[in-house]
Amino acid sequence: MSIYWLAPLASLATLLGGWGVVRFLQGRAQFMRLLSGVAAGYLLSVTVVRIIPECLEDSRGGEHNALWILAGYLLVHIMEHGITLHFHYGEETHKDGSPLSGVLALVGLSLHSLMDGVAIAAALSTHSNLGPLVVLGILFHRIPEGGTIASIFLVRGFGNRGALMAAGTLALAALVGSAGQSMLNLPTGPILGLTAGLALYVASSDLLPEVQKVSGLRSTVALLSGVGIFLLSARLLPHQH
């Protein structure tokens, strides 16, 4: 039954990010960048230490699942640089661009959200502590992701209501992904492989470049904080197969 509250919790994180931008964070991109650093540290840790080993240990796929990791990485690149225009946190500081670019960004991020939902359901089906760890990682990066789409929609002229509706669309896409995986029961190994590829790309290509724009040691502290949160979470949640 945990999926019925863990998946909505991750979706609510998207709404929290969108609401935070609309209510408090317009023009404060640096805070979102530091949060991105925390998310990057956590995502890199949970992917390298837990998701990839779990994916390769899967008896039905084994090492062949490594190809799904590569496929997940390339898929996110195609979504960001083929289907939609590339985006970054703090988008509200740039006034160029058309409303269409905002809609295209929503399409790309909705696909991200759909895959996040599938990842949650797949991780929870492993009957280990991987599920809660993956949910926590997704929760971390969905907050800045909700803030991203809200900031894009604000600067593209959609207003506060449009920004919140865009964040709500991402939240709904994550719920659809988790429900779809629960009903279809797609093979866990390949799905975890896709999840690992997605997480590696998001952490290294989307999140890390943003926190590196923050000067001084704060970017490093943010990154190491994410790693520390993972290590603490992994210790508190016993690892069982």
| pLDDT averaged per 10 residues, the chain (length 241) | 64 76 67 80 87 79 84 83 56 54 73 81 76 77 75 77 86 86 82 86 83 89 91 73 47
Nearest-angstrom CA–CA distance, 113 and 139: 11
As to burial, measured by CB atoms within 10 angstroms (0-12 exposed, 13-18 middle, 19+ buried), residue 179 is: middle
* Parent domain of 204: 3-236
pLDDT given for residue 101 in this prediction: 64
Answer yes or no: is 183 within a domain: yes
pLDDT value of residue 78: 81
Residue 241 lies in a domain: no
Which residue in the block uniquely carries the two structure tokens 């496929």? 71
Question: What number of other Cβ atoms are within 10 A of residue 157's Cβ?
Answer: 11
Instruction: Write down the pLDDT at residue 28.
Output: 66
**Model pTM?**
0.73
Query: Is 173 part of a structural domain of the chain?
Result: yes
The pLDDT of residue 1 is: 45
Between the two ends of the chain, the Cα-to-Cα distance in Å is 19
94 is a domain residue? yes
160 Cβ partners below 8 Å, 6+ apart?
A: 22, 154
Domain for residue 179, yes or no?
yes
Q: Look at residue 219 in the predicted model and tell me its pLDDT.
A: 92
Q: Residue 127: its pLDDT value, please?
A: 65
Instruction: Count structural domains, the chain.
Output: 1
Q: Does residue 180 belong to any structural domain of this protein? A: yes
Q: What is the pLDDT of residue 92?
A: 44
